[in-house]
Amino acid sequence: MTGNFSSANLEYSEKSIKILKVVSVITVVCVFLLIVLGSVVRVTDSGLGCPDWPLCYGKVLPPLETTAIIEYLHRFVASVIVGPLIIATGALIWISFRKQLWLVVPATISIFLLIIQALLGAVTVLRELPGEIVALHLAVSQLLLATLIMVTVVAFVGPLRRSVENRSNSPFDRLPLLLLCAGIAVYGVIVSGSIVTATGSTAACLTWPFCQGQIFPKEFAEAIHMGHRLVVAVAGLFILYALHLGIRAKDRPKRIRVMSMIATSVFMIQILVGAGIIWSGFPVSVLASHVALATLTWAAVISLAFMAYAEKAKLLIEA
């Protein structure tokens, strides 16, 4: 037996598995960089740098103007690099791993999400950046990243669940579920942050940790902004609790503990950067890094959750 898919009683060539590993990692990294580039587009107000779609001022190449170049670069990376990579990943899986549902399902979903993202991108420009569409665009991009991370984890570790015949009479293991819930909590934090941006409430609170000294301000924009901080506070406690269990889980593979440490560190840095945005007067570079770190936190925690499920499945199979 070769590869990491013994639970499915299937055999795949070492070459095809290696190709999948390489392609999936490259795709995840490129999608992450695209999300970061999208945040640069947003914080630099370059969303309408190219006021038409798919061309830029009716031309294939943008004019030599900063916002147009930033927006065009985002579109170029999305359509010429990321899009083909996601399609290539899906094609590889459908050709070489079509019987492995833990690969086929997320890869297929990623292609549908890619199409949705392209349509949302067009609507965002043609409707001149409506806040709710911009927020939805970010939310879908995070789901797209998660589906590709699942493909990568399955390629490296194995399926996330054991076969039906081995499913009964096994002890309940709460860590994978807690880590998955922590990932969902991180996603909720990101969505709440996108709502802050969508409603134009980014600079509504000029002090930290409270908003002008208030926990529950009455003004709409201030309430939205402070609401995001409260979501971070509540969700953050649960996220740190779940990651703490991952760090302390000495009966787990070392990579689970290491990834838990990394995720914890990134999340804590993200909180400090959020405070730094207020303290430093909302500089563009810090605003962009805030989204980048939030996405990195999401990627780290959801990767950790998938890894925990995959490791659990491996142990049950070996038992």
**C-alpha–C-alpha distance, residues 317 and 319, integer Å:** 5
Which pLDDT score is estimated for 5? 53
User: Whole-prediction pTM value?
Assistant: 0.90
Which pLDDT score is estimated for 233? 95
Which pLDDT score is estimated for 24? 97
Which pLDDT score is estimated for 122? 84
Which pLDDT score is estimated for 162? 61
Could you list the mean pLDDT of each consecutive 10-residue stretch along the chain, which spans 319 residues? 42 83 97 93 85 87 91 92 96 93 96 94 77 87 97 93 51 83 96 90 90 92 95 96 92 90 95 89 84 94 95 66
**C-alpha–C-alpha distance, residues 190 and 225, integer Å:** 13
**C-alpha–C-alpha distance, residues 236 and 275, integer Å:** 14
What is the token pair recorded at 318?
């070996």
Q: Residue 65 to residues 50, 68, 69, 144: CA-CA distances in angstroms? A: 10, 5, 6, 30
Query: Who's near 294: CB < 8 A, 6+ residues apart?
Result: 186, 189, 190, 193, 270
**C-alpha–C-alpha distance, residues 217 and 139, integer Å:** 26
Which pLDDT score is estimated for 2? 38
What is the token pair recorded at 113?
């999400």
**C-alpha–C-alpha distance, residues 101 and 110, integer Å:** 14
Which pLDDT score is estimated for 10? 47
**C-alpha–C-alpha distance, residues 142 and 144, integer Å:** 5
